[in-house]
Amino acid sequence: MSGSWGKKVQYSIFGESHGKGIGITIDGLPPGFEIDLAEVTRELERRAPGKSPLSTARNEKDAFTIWSGFLNGKTTGSPLCSSIENKDQRSADYESLAWKFRPGHADYTGSIKYKHFNDLRGGGHFSGRLTAPLVFAGAIAKQLLRQQNIHIGSHIQRISSISESQFDAVTIDQATLEQLKAKSFPVLDPAVGESMQECILSAKTAGDSVGGIIEAAVIHLPAGLGDPFFDSLESTLAHLLFSIPAVKGVEFGAGFTFAQMRGSQANDAMYSKDNVVVTSTNHNGGILGGISNGMPLIFRVAIKPTPSISVEQDTVNAKGENVSIRVEGRHDPCIVHRAIPVVEAAAAMAIWDVL
């Protein structure tokens, strides 16, 4: 199972949604780095479930234990291993689903891949529950990046058909990113945010779910990071971003809007400002030829609607018979707001590895 990633820093996740716990091992952290554990906790709290009607009622505190690679508040240089105990799983909710494949889930593909031995409870190893260890690792990577004045932030740009404006790709600043981080529902426009939340609650009342788009920015990234072709900065970021459950689309800069532009519109005019090369627009999202150009790195990810819904759906069972299914239990009507710190974590992990 592909639970490991990284070249200069290696990350390995483990666990299942309803197992005893989940965790991650990080190999390659510099020795002597002082980790702010309180900040790691705050990042995990941003993702944690059970805090509002907008998310699942499963109440996990996501308190972590560090088992190795950390002594007297600093990294030792050996692999750092951390785990998070599962305490509020209700596996009985999945007993009736054991032989029915949930539409939109990895039940069927996982069953084929692992010859019917995969853990179906709560999605097992395929569950979004496994993103908590990613947030743990990303929180450390963010602290390392901050030493070099590199900052990452994001906002909910769309929920279903309701959207707000995108970042100003040229002038996005640290203050804006910090303000968003402090919000439980991070949007640039509070009024649009209220409409988004109403949309989520409406879907929840109907036993359904909605998806959305997260837009992220990385600022003060130096020019020259990344390589052409297979190790482009986009390729490295996309690899981790597409590893997040429910992410079905990634675009950088203007993304698919490039298809509507002419070259004269799409090209970012360059000029020198205080002996630094900058661009007047940032349609390319801070990357050219797979290499950072010093402008803010801008990307967006599309999150699909949560597949576990109580609306009756057609499916098949393990015998190949046509059956219907109604998913019970505790599920998010939308995971976009909880995915914010996960997307930021993936970006931080990828950029730290490149650095």
Q: Annotation-wise, does 330 bind a ligand? A: yes
Query: For residue 246, is it left (φ>0), alpha (ψ between -120 and 50) or beta?
Result: left
Question: What's the length of the chain?
Answer: 355
Q: Annotation-wise, does 308 bind a ligand? A: yes
Instruction: Give me 48's structure tokens.
Output: 């944690």
List the beta bridge partners of residue 80: 26
Instruction: State the CB neighbour count (10 A cutoff) for residue 202.
Output: 13
Which single residue is written with the structure tokens 């909910």?
156
Q: Which of 27-66 are b and which e, b meaning 16 or more Cβ less than 10 Å from the residue's Cβ?
A: bebeeebebeeeebbebbebbbbeeeebbbebebebebeb
Which single residue is written with the structure tokens 């209220």?
194
Distance CA 137, CA 81 (A): 10
Per DSSP, the three-state class of 262 is coil
DSSP letter at 36? Answer: -
Q: Annotation-wise, does 125 bind a ligand? A: yes
Q: Annotation-wise, does 14 bind a ligand? A: no
Distance CA 27, CA 24 (A): 10
Question: What is the per-residue DSSP string for 104-128?
Answer: TSSHHHHHHHTTT-S--GGGGGGSG
Q: Of all helices (H) and strands (E), which one includes residue 54?
A: none
Q: Annotation-wise, does 142 bind a ligand? A: no
Q: Annotation-wise, does 306 bind a ligand? A: yes
Q: Annotation-wise, does 113 bind a ligand? A: no
Nearest to 134 by CA among 339, 294, 325: 339
Strand order across the 247-252 sheet: 162-163, 151-159, 212-219, 297-303, 247-252
Phi/psi at 340 (5° precision):
-50, -55
Distance CA 218, CA 311 (A): 39
Contact 197/334 with Cβ under 8 angstroms?
A: no
Which residues are part of a known binding site for FMN?
Answer: 125-127, 289, 304-308, 330
Which residues are part of a known binding site?
Answer: 47, 125-127, 289, 304-308, 330
Which residues are part of a known binding site for NADP(+)?
Answer: 47
